[in-house]
Amino acid sequence: MDITSVPIKPFPDQRPGTSGLRKKVSVFRQPGYVEAFVQSTFDALPEAVGDGVAGKTLVLGGDGRFFAAEAAQTTICMAAANGVGRLLVGRGGLLSTPAASALIRKHRAFGGIILSASHNPGGPDGDFGIKYNVANGGPAPERVTEAIFRYSQQIAAYRTIEAPSLPLDRLGIYQLARLTVEIVDPVADYAALMEKIFDFDRIRDLFRSGFRFRFDAMHAVTGPYAVEIFERRLGAAPGTAVNAEPLPDFGGHHPDPNPLHAAALVAAMMAPNGPDFGAASDGDGDRNMVVGRGCVIGPSDSLAILAANARLVPWFEEGLPGVARSMPTSRAVDRVAAALGIDCYETPTGWKYFGSLLDAGRIKLCGEESAGTSSDHIREKDGVWAVLFWLNILAARREPAAAILADHWRRFGRDFYARHDYEVLASDRAARLIDRLRDALPTLPGRRFGAFTIARADEFAYTDPVDGSISAGQGIRVEFVEGARIVYRLSGTGTEGATLRVYLERFEPDPVRHAVAAEVALAPLAAAGAALAEIEAMVGRSQPSVIV
């Protein structure tokens, strides 16, 4: 098999965003586009992480979305041509993002390539994505993604070999030039890891007692994981996992586990004789939504509840050294950390910023408002893990999820929370909105909007306490005297125009008011947020596209 070097011109738009390179499928389908990004990744590694892929082990998988099969074969040929020693590929090209992270760690691989656009919709008109993970199993940190981008802007050729397509849907071992390709079971190692973390006996008892659970895999990657773990290993009733077959277009749905896109699950949970507990995860299986009977549990509250109940889980028997949340995530977990007397770190949006804190042992639990939570067992957020964490708590406490939530608010107070997304905005207008807010920062303290007075305002910049790296321009924070906060930032995962995210939260200590609906409790703050940023005048929208 001859290695060929194919000349190519740089694509100007290959800068990875919050989580890898994400574009429309039509963009990825341009001749040489995948090749240019994969080659740039390989080329950048010697400089970015001190060593190249030659002779190393890499992991390859993804959420099985449209175009993933082609991209996987392309990547395999390029791995062979670039001297990779061993490639572990999930059967069918499938690996949930957390399972890929677990596999990298278990096999001490050099890194991994994940083919996914996560919660973004799939299909020929949908999105595709490629993400590189490093040896700790986590997303490449910013200095690596920036190096990949730099190399992509100077690329002149990519290396590949001519080889027949490998049958990825069967376990097996193949040799391509000096590369050994192993097609592995995508679920087995991950399921074994989960058994080490949680009290499976106790959860089995819960199901034996008649506890009814519904897990909506949204026709994305977690179906096979859910069937194996919840039904086979834990004894949940057959059919507990619904929409469990991964489909390239996710059945035409948007694989984003929120009340809007997982409406069927929420409806089932609100029915009078609904299941006791419900959950869903996203395209690549790193997000989770949890729903009690009659109540959706917000991701920021969920993180706080996991922190407060961590000792019920064997993995956390000795407690938590510290916790972390992304900046826009509500401060509910900070209250738990304060009560436990442990550190709470505030990081920029995106999982790559938790890696160094986890590696250094400063934290064992972290999460984001966008429905991601995880721990030091891997270096990605983990949907099925979060659901098992809840099941472990429910099995130990034997109270309804709704009661655990209400009890949590009684103890710590409630942080009402919502995110307003304004999607598909003209990019220049959205950028101008943020620029104007930045320019206004010095004048904001003391100004009043409705019932709210600004106490302080800044643009979030983060200095990693472990490696000292600095990430600036991570969102505008506005704090109010009345215990409320608004954050404005632009999405780094969208593929069409710009998305403005406005994150709203308000603390309510009085249990008498905890049952109020979040949209009611936050309406005055939402109005203040729209007025402060002059959203309608700046981007021409009077209402958000989505509220989650």
The catalytic site residues sit at: 118
Beta carbons within 10 angstroms of residue 238's beta carbon:
8
Count of H helices and E strands in the chain? Answer: 17, 27
Partner interacting with residue 350 (select from Co ion, ligand VG1, none; CB below 5-8 Å by kind): ligand VG1
- Pairing type for strands 452-459 and 448-449 reads antiparallel
| Residue 101 C-beta: closest distance to ligand VG1, Å | 12
| Residue 349 C-beta: closest distance to ligand VG1, Å | 5
Strand order through the sheet with 241-242: 241-242, 213-216, 277-281, 288-292, 295-297
* Residue 257 binding ligand VG1, by CB under 6 A: no
Residues 523 and 407 sit within 8 Å (Cβ to Cβ) = no
* From candidates 57, 75, 118, 160, binder to ligand VG1 by CB under 6 A: 118
Nearer to ligand VG1, 483 or 492 (CB): 492
* From candidates 286, 376, 464, 479, binder to Co ion by CB under 5 A: 286
| Residue 421 C-beta: closest distance to Co ion, Å | 16
* Residue 118 binding Co ion, by CB under 5 A: yes
Residue listed under structure tokens 């305002």: 457
Partner interacting with residue 251 (select from ligand VG1, Co ion, none; CB below 5-8 Å by kind): none
* From candidates 450, 492, 497, 524, binder to ligand VG1 by CB under 6 A: 492
* Residue 501 binding ligand VG1, by CB under 6 A: yes
Cα–Cα distance, 158 to 16 (Å, whole number): 19
Partner interacting with residue 501 (select from ligand VG1, Co ion, none; CB below 5-8 Å by kind): ligand VG1
Nearer to Co ion, 286 or 376 (CB): 286
Residues 365-384 that bind ligand VG1 (CB under 6 A): 368, 370, 372
Nearer to Co ion, 274 or 328 (CB): 328
First-to-last alpha carbon distance for the chain, in angstroms, is: 52
Task: Considering only the stretches 112-120, 182-190, 230-238, 426-434, report the one whose residues sit in contact with Co ion under the rule CB under 5 A.
Answer: 112-120
Q: How many residues bind ligand VG1 (CB under 6 A)?
A: 18
Contacts of residue 389, defined as CB under 8 A and 6 or more positions apart, other chains included, come to 198, 306, 313, 373
Contacts of residue 132, defined as CB under 8 A and 6 or more positions apart, other chains included, come to 20, 41, 111, 112, 113, 114, 139, 140, 144, 145, 148
Residues 246 and 187 sit within 8 Å (Cβ to Cβ) = no
Nearer to ligand VG1, 14 or 116 (CB): 116
Residue 9 CB burial class (10 angstroms; 0-12, 13-18, ≥19): exposed
Task: Considering only the stretches 113-121, 240-248, 390-398, 519-527, report the one whose residues sit in contact with Co ion under the rule CB under 5 A.
Answer: 113-121
Beta carbons within 10 angstroms of residue 435's beta carbon:
10
| Residue 501 C-beta: closest distance to ligand VG1, Å | 6
Partner interacting with residue 368 (select from Co ion, ligand VG1, none; CB below 5-8 Å by kind): ligand VG1
**Would you give the binding string for Co ion spanning residues 287-306, x where CB under 5 A is met?**
x-------------------
Nearer to ligand VG1, 82 or 101 (CB): 101
- Going 147 to 149 to 151 to 153, the CA torsion angle's sign is negative
Cross-strand pairs, 278: 214, 291
Task: Considering only the stretches 83-91, 116-124, 227-235, 255-263, report the one whose residues sit in contact with Co ion under the rule CB under 5 A.
Answer: 116-124
Q: Tell me the residue number closest to Co ion, measured at CB.
A: 118
Helix (H) or strand (E) holding 438: helix 427-440
Residues 258-287 that bind ligand VG1 (CB under 6 A): 282, 286-287
Nearer to Co ion, 17 or 483 (CB): 17
Q: What is the DSSP letter of 93?
A: E
Nearer to ligand VG1, 61 or 274 (CB): 61
Nearest to 149 by CA among 243, 43, 255: 43
- Going 35 to 37 to 38 to 39, the CA torsion angle's sign is positive
Q: Which residues of 485-498 are buried (b: 16+ CB within 10 A; e: fewer)?
A: bbbbbbbebbbeeb
Nearer to Co ion, 284 or 505 (CB): 284
Nearer to ligand VG1, 421 or 458 (CB): 421
**Would you give the binding string for Co ion spanning residues 372-391, x where CB under 5 A is met?**
--------------------
- The amino acid that residue 245 corresponds to is E
Cα–Cα distance, 329 to 44 (Å, whole number): 32
Q: Give 308-371 as a DSSP string.
A: HTGGGSGGGTT--SEEEEETTS-THHHHHHHHHT-EEEEE-SSGGGTHHHHHTTS-SEEEETTT
Residues 14 and 23 sit within 8 Å (Cβ to Cβ) = no
| Residue 207 C-beta: closest distance to ligand VG1, Å | 28
- Going 188 to 193 to 198 to 200, the CA torsion angle's sign is positive
Residues 300-359 that bind ligand VG1 (CB under 6 A): 326, 349-351
* From candidates 11, 14, 18, 193, binder to ligand VG1 by CB under 6 A: 18
| Residue 370 C-beta: closest distance to ligand VG1, Å | 4
Two tokens at 275? 């299941």
Partner interacting with residue 493 (select from ligand VG1, Co ion, none; CB below 5-8 Å by kind): ligand VG1
Radius of gyration of the chain (CA): 23
* From candidates 43, 231, 282, 380, binder to Co ion by CB under 5 A: 282
* From candidates 491, 530, 535, 544, binder to ligand VG1 by CB under 6 A: 491
Q: How many residues bind Co ion (CB under 5 A)?
A: 5
Partner interacting with residue 222 (select from Co ion, ligand VG1, none; CB below 5-8 Å by kind): none
The residue ranges that bind ligand VG1 (CB under 6 A) are 18-19, 118-119, 282, 286-287, 326, 349-351, 368, 370, 372, 491-493, 501
The residue ranges that bind Co ion (CB under 5 A) are 118, 282, 284, 286-287
